[in-house]
Each structure stands twice: as structure tokens, then as C-alpha cells.
Amino acid sequence: SVKAVFINVFGGILRCDRLAAGVIAAVRKLGLKLPVVVRMEGTNVELGRKMLAESGLALTTATDMGDGAQKVVELARAAR
């Protein structure tokens, strides 16, 4: 069974603030209780990270792929 979700997106065309808004909306709509790690890079990345951090949801940001992988494994292990 799924213990955590890792989203990794390079926002070349899609702005990171739009990605963050979509992730926040989806987590709220689905009532997702799993921890979610989001690694994004591209236009408006700082704004996107701020939106995720201030959402009040179980969303964790990662600075790169390795950081995200480490965080999602830790969260999945803690969810057992």
C-alpha cells in the first residue's frame, strides 16, 4: 500500500506557482492524508515553495531529486 507520494517536476513551461496551486487543490479535493514531497524547479519556484509551505497541508518541499528521495523514504517509513 502507498505510504507517501513524491512529485518531481521541472517547470520549464508550467510555472511552479501554478503547479503548487494544482497540488494544493488536488490534495484538498481528494482529502489526501498521505505525506507528499514536492520537488520542483523552474519559473516562480520560490513562490511555489512558499505556497506549499503555507498551505497547512502535509506537503514537504525538496531542493533536488536526492533530497526528495531521502525525505519521501523517511516519511514512508514513519507512516508504517
Task: Give 13-40 pLDDT, tens digit per residue.
Answer: 889 999 999 999 999 999 999 999 999 9
Per the structure, the complete domain to which residue 27 belongs is given by 5-78
Confidence tier at 52 by pLDDT (50, 70, 90): very high
Task: Give 59-75 pLDDT, tens digit per residue.
Answer: 999 999 999 999 999 99
Residue type, 55: S
Task: Give burial (CB, 10 Å; 0-12/13-18/19+) of 66.
Answer: exposed
DSSP, collapsed to helix, strand or coil, labels residue 13 as coil
The candidate with the shortest Cα–Cα distance to 41, out of 64, 58, 25, 59, is 64
For the domain that residue 47 is a member of, what is the CATH number?
Answer: 3.40.50.261
The Cα–Cα gap between 23 and 3 comes to 17
User: How many domains does the chain divide into?
Assistant: 1
